[in-house]
Chains A and B, each alone.
Chain A
Amino acid sequence: MKDTLRWAYALNQWNYRMDVFVRHEHQLRALKTASALGFDHLELSSGMGGRWDNLGRPEVILANHGDVAGFRRFLAQGSIAGISSIFWDPGLPTEEEGYAFLMSLDPSQHERIAAAARPYLDFLSAAGGEQLVVRPVASAWMTGPLDDDAIGRVAALWNRVGELARASGIGLAVHYDCLSGIHSRAQLETFLSATDPALVGLALDTAEFTIGGIDPVGFYRDHADRVTHVHLKDTRFADTGEEYLMPGAEATMLNGGGGRRIERWFFELGTEGGLVDVRAFVSELRAHDYPGWVVVESDHGGEPAELVMLNSWYVQKELGASR
């Protein structure tokens, strides 16, 4: 996109099952789709690793393409200039980590988590990426209520990883999501206070914030200096009944509808009835000369190419960028 903001697209929507987005020719079609719609940088998602998650886990990327230069040549075949970022949830078991469920609440696991961040940081550094985007803590239905001490323990981990990231020339952006144990605005602000701004940034996801009951525009206005990464997407619903606390909320709320039979929480930009004031949010980014990546994310809302097309249309026609 030609714009003062830097736009990227998240690849995660194509990889909806472990064995569907593996062959390079299929991946190239996704790269060309993003490119044709004006996105020349991509955010990767770490996934669960192993031989089929070959656009997420660095070791597997390298096994597929030989080295970082080979991977960049692969991206270039689809006219993709580079990667903006990688999303990583250490709580999601990966084959390379022995399928461990790494828990940031447990200080005894911090050294292991910090070590597990290393392949991503090394890869991002070598590949020209800028941000390691992390899920800071498990879902609230698993963690239970987090007090300030618990949030402080989590913050200590990410300060430590942030130091490693800084040493690698990479930014660490902690991503808020609507199921997270760090849920309320107060908890999030406690977390930000407990982390070093020089080491830990915030990945502000407009739909996740809105579902979680936090106004993304107001929050950004108040904490613009901490926001180092953006996920831009819309939602038609907010969690008004503490549905995030439902056992198995990933399935019961996000997929199961949270008791209201909501079939889909995340929507493309410009969706009818969207709750995110996308234009106002992007205006704030522009007003603050936001320097980071704005990653547009579909998050499994329908046929991948159709959603990139709709998001691209909105970015071009309503947000002032051009393809």
Chain B
Amino acid sequence: MTWTKWSYMDHWVTQTPQGPLPPQFNRAYMDRYLKQLAATGFTGFDTFFFTLPALAGMYGSLAGFEQRLREVGMEKITGLFTAYPSATAYTAPHVRETHDRIFADCEYTANAVDGLAVENFIVMPSSTYYQTEPVTDDKIKAMAELWSRVGEMTLARGMKTTCHFEFWGAIRTREQLDLFFQYADPETVFFFCDTAQHTIAGVDPVQMFRDYRDRCTGFHFKDTHTVDTNEAYRTPPDPEMMAPGVDRWFYEMGTPGGLVDFPALMREIVTSGYDGWLTVEHDKADTFGGSYAEATCVAKWYIDNVLAEAQAEAEKELSTR
């Protein structure tokens, strides 16, 4: 049986009477968006912390929003994404003096989804590399302390705090990743595998999953065509949108030139016994006139055809062991 727990990370732009805008434009557009995802076979919905007020406003409450998800054929909000990409005087995960503020923010967000069955509280564990460097052992330890504390709080609310690493973040190399997970509480801090981000940073996402299987609680399935070999990751003011020489880092699955070995990852997932959500993320799919809708369909075609075959192969191999 093909994998049924596919969720979609909420990046989307659609054409509205006021020009291209996210579907949170109004409830009618949001409804269309949800139906579009449901039609394609996604049943989980991942979104950002800052979207929650708009969803609650349009649907009366977040419970009302989840009810609408079920009405169109989806299941629930599966993940909530929060981040402090820019280090500020108030919030910088590597600065212990800002931890109380970050913790309070996270507690506020976690409380907002109280009563729902959100599974992942997805965080960027660091701010930008260039604002954090030199990246020292102690700074990584400080970040691990913060997310261990937040993880304990979210776990008490039924959500796993799970760390999503950026190629431009302060924890990016395999050594830094390993050190972070050594310091972070294994009971409260989990791993979220973004296939493109790790690949850009020169880290093999399949090997990361293999090594951190027991702490892995989710994935962003997205592709890239470029490994950062020119230290774009440490380039101010923003490596993700403004890196010299790279106009677009992220692609949907199934494009020519994609570097992520998704079939290998899928086989590894099946073999490992992982049974959680797999999330498709299309980050900046509208670069150069692309369409989020089409990128989503093309990725789902890849899931239904290429990944389904990889899954079947792995299951067959398992059954013959």
Contacts and interface: CB of A to CB of B under 8 A. Distances in A.
Interface of A: 25, 29, 32-33, 35-38, 78-79, 272, 302-306, 308-310, 312-313, 316-317, 323
A304 B15 contact: no
B300 A310 contact: no
A36 B40 contact: yes
A323 B301 contact: no
Contact of A36 (B35, B72, B300): B300
Contacts of A79: 301, 304-305
B297 A33 contact: yes
Given A33-B294, A36-B41, A79-B301, 4 more contacts: A32-B302, A78-B301, A302-B15, A313-B35
Contacts of B37: 309
B291 A303 contact: yes
Interface centre among B15, B256, B294, B298 (most CB of A within 10 A): B294
A305 B294 contact: yes
B39 interface: yes
B32 interface: yes
B36 interface: yes
Nearest to B20: A303
B28 interface: yes
Contacts of A25: 256
B294 A316 contact: no
A33 B14 CA distance: 17
Contacts of A29: 294, 297-298
Secondary structure at chain B's binding surface: helix, strand, loop or mixed?
Answer: helix
A244 B154 CA distance: 62
Secondary structure at chain A's binding surface: helix, strand, loop or mixed?
Answer: helix
A323 B39 CA distance: 8
B73 interface: yes
Contacts of B39: 37-38, 309-310, 312-313, 316-317, 323
Given A79-B301, A306-B32, A313 B72 contact: yes
Interface of B: 14-15, 28, 32, 35-41, 72-73, 254, 256, 291, 293-294, 296-298, 300-302, 304-305
A184 B213 CA distance: 67
Contacts of A308: 297
Contacts, number: 78
B40 A37 contact: yes
Contacts of B293: 303, 305-306, 309
18 contacts: A33-B298, A36-B304, A37-B39, A79-B304, A79-B305, A305-B296, A306-B36, A306-B293, A309-B35, A309-B36, A309-B40, A312-B39, A312-B40, A313-B35, A313-B39, A316-B39, A317-B38, A323-B41
A144 to B, nearest CB: 38
A310 B35 contact: yes
Contact of A35 (B35, B291, B301): B301
Nearest to A31: B301
Which 10 pairs show the lowest CB-CB distances between chains A and B?
A: A309-B36, A313-B39, A32-B301, A305-B293, A33-B297, A305-B294, A312-B39, A36-B300, A313-B35, A36-B301
A313 B36 contact: yes
B291 A305 contact: yes
Contacts of A317: 35, 38-39, 72-73
A25 to B, nearest CB: 8
A25 B290 CA distance: 14
Contacts of A304: 294
A305 B297 contact: yes
A303 B301 contact: no
Contacts of B294: 29, 33, 303-305
